[in-house]
């Protein structure tokens, strides 16, 4: 089975959507094997999203991710990376399919409620960024 890193972003945690979003993951067969609520600093958010450092929205993105607590979690299941991205929906909620998290809950392309790793290598890196070995059973 595969594991992926998921983040419930500030726009969703502040609207008390954690439970509804977790229900979508569990209904899709994804098991939540680790989870914690943290408040990132802008520098930590920038480190996490370092691949986007040259994009025009980088400042907006890191400021948003540090604006309120997030819930970081590890999801496990067969094909977890692809399955999670399917449940999340397209980056821009306007393009997201019906029933996806972003279609139902996201406010804009920036404040889009969830993050999910996009490949096995980034999943491993992102899980290690937030969780220690002791937290991963
Ligand atoms: P994520 O990496 O958060 O799972 P994604 O893989 O669907 O989302 P990316 O292209 O990796 O999308 O962009 C990372 C994040 O940057 C997006 O989720 C969104 O919050 C923000 N972002 C992307 N494009 C824009 C944009 N045009 N304007 C503002 N913010 C954006
Ligand atoms: Mg991405």
Active site residues: 115
How many Å apart are CA 16 and CA 90, to the nearest integer? 22
How many Å apart are CA 37 and CA 58, to the nearest integer? 23
Q: What is the reported pLDDT for 125?
A: 98
Nearest atom in ligand 1 to the alpha carbon of residue 64 is 20
Number of Cβ within a 10 Å radius of residue 42: 14
Q: Is the ipTM of this complex over 0.90?
A: yes
Nearest atom in ligand 1 to the alpha carbon of residue 118 is 6
List pLDDT tens digits, range 54-101. 999 999 999 999 999 999 999 999 999 999 999 999 999 999 999 999
Is 102 near ligand 1, meaning CB less than 6 Å away? no
Q: What is the reported pLDDT for 100?
A: 98
Is 118 near ligand 1, meaning CB less than 6 Å away? yes
Q: What is the reported pLDDT for 107?
A: 94
Summary mean pLDDT of the chain: 98
Report the DSSP beta bridge partners of residue 35: 73
List pLDDT tens digits, range 13-22. 999 999 999 9
How many Å apart are CA 69 and CA 137, to the nearest integer? 24
């Amino acid at each position: 089975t595969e594991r992926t890193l998921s983040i419930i972003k500030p726009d969703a945690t502040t609207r008390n959507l954690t439970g509804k979003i977790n229900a979508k993951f569990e209904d899709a067969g994804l098991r939540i094997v680790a989870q914690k609520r943290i408040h990132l600093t802008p520098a930590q958010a920038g480190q996490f999203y370092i691949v986007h450092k040259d994009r025009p929205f980088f400042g907006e993105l890191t400021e948003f991710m540090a604006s309120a607590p997030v819930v970081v979690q590890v999801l496990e299941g067969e094909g977890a990376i692809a399955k999670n991205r399917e449940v999340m929906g397209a980056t821009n909620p306007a393009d997201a399919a019906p029933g996806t998290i972003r279609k139902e809950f996201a406010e804009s392309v920036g404040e889009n409620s969830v993050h999910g790793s996009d490949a096995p290598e980034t999943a491993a890196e992102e899980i290690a960024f937030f969780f220690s070995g002791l937290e991963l059973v």
